[in-house]
A = this chain, B = another copy of it.
Amino acid sequence: MLDAALAKIDANRDAALARLFALVAIPSISTDPAYAGDCLNAAEWLATELGALGFDASVRPTAGHPMVVGKARARRKGAPHVLFYGHYDVQPPDPLDLWENPPFEPRLVETPHGKEILGRGTSDDKGQLMTFIEACRAFRDAGGLPCHVSVLLEGEEETGSPSLPAFLAANKDELKADLALVCDTSMWDRTTPAITTMLRGLVLEEVVVRGADRDLHSGMFGGPAINPIHVLALIIADLHDENGRVTLPGFYEGVYELPVEIAEQWRKLPFNARHFLEEVGLSVPAGETGRSVLEMIWSRPTCDVNGIIGGYTGKGSKTVLPARASAKFSFRLVGAQDPEKIAASFRSFVKARLPADCQAEFASHGASGALQLPFDSKPLAQARQALREEWGKEAVLTGSGGSIPIVGAFKRDLHMDTLMIGFGLDDDRIHSPNEKYELSSFHKGARSWARILAALAA
């Protein structure tokens, strides 16, 4: 069954590429209202394509660009049910003059390391989502899908998914599955697949520290009048100890050490921390003593001030003793850290450091926990095995420093874990001119999904 599907994928390479070209040729730029018709075209193209594969597929209107929803049943009853998510919208291609080839006229080019598919959206996310659809096609041709498959394709990912939360809420029962699959991430490198199993959470807090009831003259009042900038600076300085650890009481509750196997895998990765930092003009890792850069970004919590302002900030000088100073803080969370507890601990920490005559006002700009696919979860083991068989090496289990909102929404609203597996490469130039997707990513990506679907049903 799987072998037959893999053979179909291999046999239909050219046709698959032609389908991807047809989708890439539709300039579905979500941020520009002039391309709303193209977004609709892309949605309809996909619904038609899914329909041809036997999916019950439709274009579903939203306040913005439409969703595509498709559903197909597995060959056998009792098979697991997966929900695949991707997005058909793309970033604007500007600046156009930097493209070697027109962005919406996809083309295959030879490079020293293989063939590349050039065009806007080839990697983000049209090429990636088509790997999954091609896998489904292969199973149809080979006798049927091993899993029940639902597909949700969005047209507003590049503009922050404004219609998605309401759509998920309104179609919760329809969209609920056993597991979500997302193909919008990268491989570790050209020959090594990766599964993103950790997404850091985020607590966003803003603090305004107030002192006197007006700005004061620093000559008249400097000395006896409290300076809120100093108070805020002391609080910020206190938030880390000399080893770069966050000093909030209870902050590390729910922060777990990596399983030995994963720690070992990360240690052996050919990741050049120096190069990673040099790219942005830095050379020495800051942060927690004794933690590698990868660990810090993927699996350790942080506290950062994202902005601060107080007093006079124009040109030259003004001898003012400000009435207020404020700062925005973000905490990246991992493991089972509780966002509510951390926000509360932070507020207590600030209040405990307010001298006489100072008040603090707080505002929350969001609080969400980390997302962690348990290292011992069955679908993760199945996907790892499938990728090992396709690529001949172990998939790297990566973390992601940032958040991927759809994954949080699936967990929070649909109570589903997500397997994030993608075949993009770091040099795919997504969002930039000359975006490309490796032909091998496209072909072996489809084969990988075929193996994963088979493995999940095993």
- Per-residue CB contact flags for chain A residues 294-323 toward chain B (1 = under 8 Å, else 0) read 001100101011111111110011111110
A216 on interface, CB distance cutoff 8 Å = yes
Q: For A286, what are the chain B residues with a Cβ–Cβ distance below 8 Å?
A: 223-227, 355-357
A280 to chain B, nearest CB (A): 4
Q: How far is B219's CA from A206's CA once the two chains are assembled, in angstroms? A: 18
A232 on interface, CB distance cutoff 8 Å = yes
A258 on interface, CB distance cutoff 8 Å = no
Q: How far is B401's CA from A321's CA once the two chains are assembled, in angstroms? A: 13
A311 touches B297 (CB 8 A): no
A307 touches B304 (CB 8 A): no
A297 touches B202 (CB 8 A): no
Q: For A296, what are the chain B residues with a Cβ–Cβ distance below 8 Å?
A: 223-224
A326 to chain B, nearest CB (A): 8
B311, B327, B328, B365: the one within 8 Å of A306 (CB): B311
- Kindly identify, within residues 180 to 224 of chain A, every residue whose CB is under 8 Å from any CB belonging to chain B: 200, 202, 204, 206, 211-214, 216-224
Q: How far is B318's CA from A328's CA once the two chains are assembled, in angstroms? A: 9
B320 touches A218 (CB 8 A): no
B320 touches A306 (CB 8 A): yes
A443 on interface, CB distance cutoff 8 Å = no
A contact residues, range: 35 or more
A225 touches B319 (CB 8 A): no
B225 touches A236 (CB 8 A): no
A406 to chain B, nearest CB (A): 15
A229 touches B222 (CB 8 A): no
A268 on interface, CB distance cutoff 8 Å = no
A402 on interface, CB distance cutoff 8 Å = yes
B237 touches A233 (CB 8 A): yes
Given contacts A230-B236, A312-B307, contact A224 B356 (CB under 8 A): no
A87 to chain B, nearest CB (A): 19
The listed residue with most B CB atoms (<10 A of its CB), out of A224, A330, A400, is A224
B277 touches A225 (CB 8 A): yes
A165 on interface, CB distance cutoff 8 Å = no
16 extra interchain contacts, Cβ-Cβ under 8 A, other than A223-B302, A306-B317?
Answer: A218-B332, A219-B332, A219-B402, A219-B403, A221-B297, A223-B287, A223-B332, A224-B297, A230-B240, A233-B308, A277-B357, A286-B356, A306-B311, A309-B310, A317-B366, A318-B328
> Top 5 closest A-B pairs, CB basis?
A219-B402, A213-B281, A223-B296, A307-B311, A233-B236
